């Protein structure tokens, strides 16, 4: 989920396109990823219309968290030094999220549940937690950036041999195959 969140700035390294243009976009991202249901999104949207300044502030925080997550994972992927300010931003968000977590009983066990999902920033808590969980997991070495230089979306390589190169084979992978085919055809005709 945190990698999908990073990908809400499309074409980051070429022609950046902001996919979180307003608070409703942020709430819809949370709905699309299962963080919120449609009734929660409706309530938050109504509240954002009543308090647009607070909604803009939370959107700003969301973008800052997104960029911090991007910087940290970009450093890991490219084997660069860890950016301390970005890591501090994630840590602050994780600590804030922890203040809103409660253990609740479920089917003979327990799980973490976030309280008060009607707060403007409630969808940021599980995103921060997901980033921390991924950073501390054994899956961290399988975080990749799409091989396409016009994309570079982040994804978790869950392929059997962990050699996946594209965020989506039907999108970026297919374009690369078509480009290679075109180049081979061009060489043959020369």
Instruction: Looking at mean pLDDT, say which of 5-14, 86-95, 174-183 comes out highest.
Output: 86-95
Res 173 pLDDT > 60: no
Residue 172, in any domain of the structure: no
Residue 158, in any domain of the structure: no
Residue 47, in any domain of the structure: yes
Residue 130, in any domain of the structure: yes
What angle (nearest 5°) sits at the alpha carbon of residue 177, between those of residues 172 and 183? Answer: 125
The stretch 180-187 carries a mean pLDDT of 60
pLDDT at 169: 65
Structure tokens given for 43: 């309530």
From residue 167, alpha-carbon distances to 18, 34, 129, 176 in Å are 19, 20, 23, 12
Best CA proximity match to 59, nearest among 87, 33, 28, 38: 28
Residue 115, in any domain of the structure: yes
Alpha carbon 158 to its chain centroid, in Å, reads 17
Res 187 pLDDT > 90: no
What angle (nearest 5°) sits at the alpha carbon of residue 88, between those of residues 118 and 11? Answer: 75
Residue 106, in any domain of the structure: yes
The stretch 85-107 carries a mean pLDDT of 96
pLDDT at 25: 96
Residue 155, in any domain of the structure: no
For 14-39, write each residue's pLDDT tens digit.
Answer: 889 999 999 999 999 999 999 999 99
Pair 172, 145: CB distance under 8 Å = no
pLDDT at 60: 98
Structure pTM?
0.87
State which residues form the domain around 100: 2-140
Query: Which residue in the block uniquely carries the two structure tokens 């938050």?
Result: 44
User: For residues 152 and 4, what is the distance between their CA atoms, to the nearest angstrom?
Assistant: 12
pLDDT at 181: 47
Q: How far apart are the first and last CA of the chain?
A: 47
- Residues in the chain, how many? 190
Residue 98, in any domain of the structure: yes
pLDDT at 62: 98
Specify the number of domains making up the chain: 1
């Amino acid at each position: 989920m945190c990698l999908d969140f990073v990908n809400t700035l499309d074409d980051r390294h070429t022609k950046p396109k902001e996919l979180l243009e307003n608070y409703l976009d942020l709430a819809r991202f949370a709905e699309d990823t299962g963080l919120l249901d449609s009734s929660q999104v409706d309530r938050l949207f109504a509240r954002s219309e009543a308090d647009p300044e607070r909604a803009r502030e939370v959107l700003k925080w969301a973008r800052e968290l997104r960029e911090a997550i991007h910087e940290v994972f970009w450093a890991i992927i490219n084997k660069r030094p860890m950016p301390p300010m970005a890591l501090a931003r994630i840590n602050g968000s994780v600590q804030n999220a922890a203040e809103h977590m409660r253990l609740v009983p479920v089917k003979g066990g327990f799980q973490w549940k976030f309280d008060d999902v009607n707060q403007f920033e409630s969808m940021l808590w599980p995103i921060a937690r997901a980033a921390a969980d991924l950073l501390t997991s054994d899956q961290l070495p399988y975080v990749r950036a799409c091989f396409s230089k016009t994309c570079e979306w982040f994804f978790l390589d869950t392929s059997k041999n962990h050699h996946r190169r594209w965020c989506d084979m039907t999108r970026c992978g297919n374009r690369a195959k078509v480009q290679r085919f075109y180049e081979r055809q061009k060489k043959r005709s020369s």
